[in-house]
Amino acid sequence: MGSGFSIVCKNCDEYSEYILGYGMLHSSLDAVLDLVPLGAQRQIFEIRLDHQPKDISYGYELFECSSCKTLHSRFDIRFKYGESQKFECNFYCGDCRKSLRRAKKDPLSYRCRNCGEPSLEHSYEMCPWD
Ligand SMILES: [Zn+2]
Ligand SMILES: [Zn+2]
């Protein structure tokens, strides 16, 4: 099951929700394929022409933009194929178009996507989730 949390900016009141994990409907690779960017869907399609994906994992995860220091939630698909090749989605920051990497820090240590200030705090509003 998935979970989520929400963050609000003390400086500009920008509210954002982040989801993690995946829901009940996402039961197979085909069921989640349209949640990833089109480029990744094409790559997966081409890999599957020749290979059977193994060790498939997917779900919403947190990514960070190292350029504008913001936090993003993206649906990621990863699997292994062939001898020892790995597939991972490539994501880009919606704000500055730099590539995103997996977030390692506390969600509150990132900057607000609206005003750029490092003034985030947890919001008490609950996210709806299936
Ligand atoms: Zn960015
Ligand atoms: Zn802000």
Domain boundaries, the chain: 3-122
Nearest ligand, measured from the Cα of 116: 2
Nearest ligand, measured from the Cα of 15: 2
Q: What is the pLDDT of residues 54-84, one digit of tens each?
A: 999 999 999 999 999 999 999 999 999 999 9
Query: Considering only CA atoms, which of 59, 54, 58 is closest in space to residue 86?
Result: 54
Q: How confident is the model at residue 35 (pLDDT cuts 50, 70, 90)?
A: very high
Q: How confident is the model at residue 112 (pLDDT cuts 50, 70, 90)?
A: very high
CB atoms within 10 A of CB 92: 16
Alpha carbon of 81 to ligand 2 centroid (Å)? 42
Q: What is the pLDDT of residues 10-33, one digit of tens each?
A: 999 999 999 888 766 667 899 899
Alpha carbon of 94 to ligand 1 centroid (Å)? 7
Distance, CA of 96 to CA of 111 (rounded, Å):
14
Nearest ligand, measured from the Cα of 64: 1
Q: What is the largest CA-CA distance in the chain?
A: 51
In the chain, % helix, strand, coil (3-state, to 5) comes to 20, 40, 45
Alpha carbon of 21 to ligand 2 centroid (Å)? 26
